[in-house]
A and B are shown apart, each in its own frame.
Chain A
């Protein structure tokens, strides 16, 4: 509640981007935490009208973290060497895989991130030239407004100012709704674990980034297919590449707008659905899908008691007349 007085910070009055970034960030934080406090109250069932106004604030004031970082995967560069998989495995202390990282036979099946691999590379046939296969690196896309975070009933997910979407196993009780909600089928669950299961997914090497480093996969990539940087810069760079090489790329930066935009962006030489990117995504953040329903909750909580009380009174009234 202590954050509420901060609402007068002039974040909304000044054109975006003209603030020193630190100050802007503080304004964003104040708005965020105010929304959280209000929503907690509303959802707990008490402050119904406050809940409705929190929705209004959420729409108008939150622009996300302006300096958030991102990654750009240029799928036309990727040669399928799996060096990124190996670097990721080492950087995150994951268990050694059964099949070594230089083994190409893994490409015979389509793989996905699992409880022991944050990222995997899959091979696809190239419609342009059959002797030069295409590769796609798969990992968490670190959405701007993540579906997993909207789904989590215990707020185990956080979108950090640095761009990574982080998971906190200390509050998770293992309902796996985040996995239902993720449009990219990213979060993996440790189904083998009886009493200590957790969600496993890419952290965009948040610790390394915090210390001024770059994610392990980007650092390891021998052909520069994975670039780390400020998301807004990466989008500009990706546009530039498409403009300079219109024959090399399809005119689409995957992740710029999908489900409200993701921190991880992709360029491709073939339409994205050829590489199993989901083609049926909405452009709005997923949280928008449930907003209408959740807004109706306080209305039901307020109106139903009166309505049902009236029905009861009417019944009693009739009984009295009989």
Chain B
């Protein structure tokens, strides 16, 4: 870890360039970039990015399965509806540490906030590709207000929360570029931003579910419920917890040299602790899903093929990972908790895809044929995921996220 290889006397541009190259000469830095992972990533980007160009040259019809019956394709089903709950990491970790006082999770807050910020940033990127006139994305905020719309709320909140998360993460950026005075200000607003973040998250996580309240005849009754906002909010809590486990697992494995001893040595007990919180929320969510069936008296539908699929979702992708997590917590096994966390994350993605794509328009003829995304759309999504991972790694490599900056001890404010 070279935080500073160039003397302080050098001008800011020189020092900043040095930081971008992680203290290496350009030629050496370029050599470190040639790895099998990066080559595969480059290939995916070279296929996907031109296809994004095709969308802006020939319209959505050229790249997505979206149609007049299916206005939202996997660009949103994955990028927005799955991406946002998996980005609940920021508000979950910041609340645990700064509001509820679980200081032992301090070393995971920055990773949680960064995961959340990046998730929202990329949700917006997916959105910008999907919406018809992306340059008008600020219209709900400034030009024409539609306050009866749940999407109006989502637009306001995602925009505001993106800003809040950038501010929450700003101490890491400011430490990186050694802006001491500005950093002090950034630390001061931590608690305020955290509380603001919880409020915004409560509302827009639930609002993503509430969007579908307007389509009672279109979403299958087992997934359509007056409780859907509550489902989306509660499940976002364990989605965030399990994503922190998942992301920290990946980071500790592949970016070990960017993490400090404190981060690595605390990770296993922290993982078990987060798993404990997550499994409790998962059992609550499982119970809520059953209450949802009871509330609308949909028991008879459970015997239909859709009912089997519903049972598969709640038994194999909510209850089962919940049990894996419970066993892992009881045994104190971080490994088992990690398996449970990845399983739970898969369950969240399945749930959101069920609501936004698989069970939406379930009663239209040819439904399962019409929702299959074309290869071009899959390539676009894969390239954005790849870009997401690369940018995430780029930040973890440079900024003090998995470690404390030596000049700012206890600096994780």
Contact = CB atoms under 8 A, between A and B. Distances in A.
Interface of A: 36, 39-40, 42-45, 112-114, 147, 149-156, 171-177, 179-181, 183, 185, 187-198, 278, 280-282, 286-287, 289-290, 292-294, 297, 300-301, 304-305, 308-309, 311-312, 315-316, 318-319
B68 interface: yes
| In the A-B complex, the 9 residue pairs with the closest CB atoms | A174-B132, A315-B101, A43-B147, A176-B71, A191-B61, A173-B136, A197-B132, A179-B71, A153-B152
A280 B362 CA distance: 13
Interface stretch (B35-43, B194-202, B386-394): B194-202
B33 interface: no
Nearest to B155: A153
Interface string B96-137: 001111000000000000000000000000000001111011
A173 B136 CA distance: 6
Given A290-B214, A294-B153, A172 B147 contact: no
Contact of A150 (B66, B207, B214): B214
B254 interface: no
Interface stretch (B51-59, B316-324, B397-405): B51-59
Nearest to A314: B101
Interface residues of B, number: 61
Nearest to B56: A194
Given A185-B69, A304-B202, 4 more contacts: A153-B140, A153-B149, A173-B131, A191-B59
Given A281-B217, A290-B150, A301-B199, A195 B69 contact: no
Query: Looking at B148, B154, B191, which has the most chain A CB atoms within 10 Å of its CB?
Result: B148
Contacts of B199: 300-301, 304-305, 308
6 contacts: A155-B144, A198-B132, A282-B217, A301-B199, A305-B195, A312-B191
Interface in B49-78: 55-61, 66-69, 71-72
B148 A287 contact: yes
Nearest to B221: A280
Residue of B61, B149, B199, B202 most packed against chain A (CB within 10 A): B149
B210 interface: yes
A190 B61 CA distance: 9
B374 interface: no
A153 B229 contact: no
A289 B229 CA distance: 12
Contacts of A183: 215-218
B195 A191 contact: no
Given A44-B156, A189-B71, A289 B148 contact: no
A180 B140 CA distance: 18
A278 B144 CA distance: 32
Given A293-B229, A308-B195, A153 B132 contact: no
Nearest to A154: B144
Nearest to B97: A315
A315 B134 CA distance: 44
A292 B214 CA distance: 12
A36 B145 CA distance: 9
Nearest to B206: A293
Given A171-B143, A308-B198, A191 B67 contact: yes
A143 to B, nearest CB: 12
Contacts of B145: 40, 43-44, 154-155
A27 B158 CA distance: 37
Contacts of A194: 55-59
A189 B153 contact: no
Contacts of A311: 99-100
Interface string B214-242: 11111000000010010000000000000
Contacts of B149: 150-153, 177
Contacts of A195: 56, 133
A173 B147 contact: no
B173 to A, nearest CB: 25
A171 B72 CA distance: 20
A79 to B, nearest CB: 26
Contact of A191 (B60, B156, B203, B217): B60
A304 B109 CA distance: 21
B167 interface: no
B211 interface: yes
Contacts of B226: 292
Interface in B6-29: none
A300 B68 CA distance: 35
Contact of A176 (B72, B153, B214): B72
